[in-house]
Amino acid sequence: MKTIAAYHRPDSIDRALLLLTGPSAATVVIAGGTYLNTEELAPDTEVVDIQDAVAAGVERQGDRVRYGAMTRLTDLIEHYETPPLLATLARREGPNTLRNAATIGGTIACAHPESELVAGLLVHDAAVTVTGTDAEIPVSSIMRDRSQLDGAIITSVTVGIGGETTSDRTGRTPADSSIVAAAARVTPDGIHVALTGVAATPVLVDPDDLSSLDPPADFRGSSEYRLELARILTERVVTRLGGAS
Over its length of 245 residues, how does the chain's per-residue pLDDT go in tens digits? 467 788 889 999 999 888 887 766 578 888 887 776 666 677 778 888 889 999 999 999 999 999 999 999 999 999 999 999 999 999 998 888 888 889 999 999 999 999 999 999 999 999 999 987 778 999 999 999 988 888 889 999 999 999 999 999 999 888 888 999 999 999 999 999 999 999 999 999 999 999 999 999 999 999 999 999 999 999 999 999 987 65
**Rounded to whole angstroms, how far apart are CA atoms 111 and 93?**
12
Neighbours of 133 (CB within 10 A): 10
φ, ψ dihedrals at 146, nearest 5° = -70, -15
**Rounded to whole angstroms, how far apart are CA atoms 77 and 93?**
11
Query: Could you tell me the pTM of the whole model?
Result: 0.92
Distance of CA 11 to the CA centre of its chain: 25
φ, ψ dihedrals at 127, nearest 5° = -140, 155
